[in-house]
């Protein structure tokens, strides 16, 4: 996307340098450093209480940092009030005035800025068309669906032509199908405008499908910043590995280290894995992480790792099948699309599970405490 580049002279659209926020003795955001590019769809992702909304509110000027610096287009706005920052925020509850119709709601921020009525009218009609809500200007919020109310909230935020749009779980109140439709509409709108979007969500699928880059947060800290592909396929911590997508976990101990490979004694076999970013030595505890879609059943092909397991269950999930197996008290789950599942034929109680060395990610065993379990 043409907009996802730094602005001139290496200045970022939004930059957080050592930003911290404490509420008395509780540290909500702990020394966060972020660089968000102009025209980028950037998501803050993490579980409840991780500090993502507080971070967004500090960018908006709705919270004052305890420490650190916030820059918008290279300008220090750390102490600048919200109404003097060229950013707008969209909240989950829409915040639409019920006593005003759609036109009046969108006109309100322009009226506050004393924009001439003719110029304001042109802006209102333009932004209504942009969010596909032209023709709805005389309706009140009680006459709109949840998705329509969200579009009006977007229109009101966009009518001021902000440099960045901040969105705090804006689709959280919508049902599943409408939420998916609005995800697509939001992404298309952002591409059309080439505007910087900073999006807060706890929904990993939402972040992966919509974002150019993602910051994964936990306990007020950023664990990893990267593209959806980087976050999913190369998680830097066990927390990120467990929070993004599904994962199998196998505990073991390092028995062999080579230049680019590592051997781990686990499940009665020596597992062959690619060396990760962590310097692990013989005798160290290891946590092997393998995505369910990376596992093969009865493949017949020679792979670096193969174990014999017992079939536990087969679950049809609509879009795919989940096959659960057990080995030495450890559950291993594999996922197959319809075509792959049919190719397996009938599954017997005894199955062979295999995967390649580079399909596993290895972390020190003490990182097990970071895992998110549901």
Which pLDDT tens digit goes with each residue over 220-245? Answer: 999 999 999 999 999 999 999 999 99
Write the CATH number of the domain with boundaries 242-370.
2.40.50.100
Residue 147, pLDDT score: 85
pLDDT in tens, 43-79: 999 999 999 999 999 999 999 999 999 999 999 999 9
The residues of the chain that CATH labels 2.40.50.100 are 242-370
CATH topology of domain 8-239: Rossmann fold (3.40.50)
The C-alpha atoms of residue 159 and residue 123 are separated, in whole angstroms, by 6
pLDDT at residue 2 greater than cutoff 70: no
Residues ≥6 apart with Cβ < 8 Å to 296: 303, 334, 353, 354, 355
Phi and psi angles of residue 322, each rounded to the nearest 5 degrees, phi first:
-110, 125
DSSP 271-330: EEEE--SS---TT-EEEEEE-GGG-EES--S--SEEEEEEEEEEEE-SS-EEEEEEETTE
DSSP assignment, residue 347?
A: P
- Cα separation, 216 vs 46, in Å, equals 6
Sheet containing strand 41-45, edge to edge, reads: 87-91, 164-168, 196-201, 41-45, 213-218, 221-226
* pLDDT of the residue at 175: 85
Tokens linked to 299: 């493949």
Can you give the pLDDT at residue 4? 44
Instruction: Give the pLDDT mean for 112-119.
Output: 91
- Residues forming CATH 3.40.50.300 domain(s) in the chain: 8-239
Two tokens, residue 219: 């306990």
């Amino acid at each position: 996307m043409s907009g996802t580049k730094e602005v001139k002279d290496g200045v970022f659209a939004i930059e957080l340098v050592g930003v911290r926020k404490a509420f008395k003795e509780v540290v909500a955001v702990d020394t966060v450093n972020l660089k968000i590019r102009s025209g980028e769809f950037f998501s803050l992702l993490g579980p409840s209480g991780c500090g993502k909304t507080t971070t967004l509110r500090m960018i908006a000027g709705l919270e004052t940092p305890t420490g650190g610096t916030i820059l918008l287009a290279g300008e220090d706005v750390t102490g600048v009030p919200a109404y003097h920052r060229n950013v707008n925020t969209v909240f989950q509850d829409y915040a639409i005035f019920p006593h005003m119709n759609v036109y009046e709601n969108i006109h309100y921020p322009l009226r506050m800025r004393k924009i001439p009525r003719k110029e304001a009218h042109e802006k209102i009609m333009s932004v209504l068309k942009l969010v596909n809500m032209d023709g709805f200007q005389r309706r009140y919020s009680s006459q709109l669906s949840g998705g329509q109310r969200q579009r009006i909230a977007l229109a009101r935020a966009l009518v001021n032509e902000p440099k960045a749009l901040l969105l705090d779980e804006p689709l959280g109140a919508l049902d599943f199908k409408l939420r998916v439709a609005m995800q697509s509409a939001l992404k298309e709108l952002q591409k059309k405008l080439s505007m910087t979007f900073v999006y807060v969500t706890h929904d990993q699928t939402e972040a992966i499908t919509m974002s150019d880059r993602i910051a994964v947060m936990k306990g007020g800290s950023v664990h990893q910043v990267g593209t959806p592909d980087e976050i999913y396929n190369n998680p830097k911590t066990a927390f990120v590995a467990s929070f993004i997508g599904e994962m199998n976990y196998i505990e073991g101990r390092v028995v062999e280290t080579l230049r680019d490979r590592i051997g781990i004694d686990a499940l009665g076999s020596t597992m062959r894995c690619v060396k990760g970013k962590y310097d692990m030595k013989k005798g160290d505890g290891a946590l092997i992480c393998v995505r369910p879609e990376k596992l093969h059943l009865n493949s017949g092909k020679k792979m670096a790792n193969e174990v014999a397991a017992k079939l536990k269950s087969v679950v049809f999930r609509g879009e795919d099948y989940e096959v659960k197996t057990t080995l030495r008290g450890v559950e291993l789950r594999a996922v197959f699309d319809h075509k792959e599942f049919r190719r397996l034929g009938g599954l017997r109680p005894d199955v062979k599970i295999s995967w390649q060395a580079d399909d596993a990610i290895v972390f020190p065993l003490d990182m097990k405490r970071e895992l998110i379990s549901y």
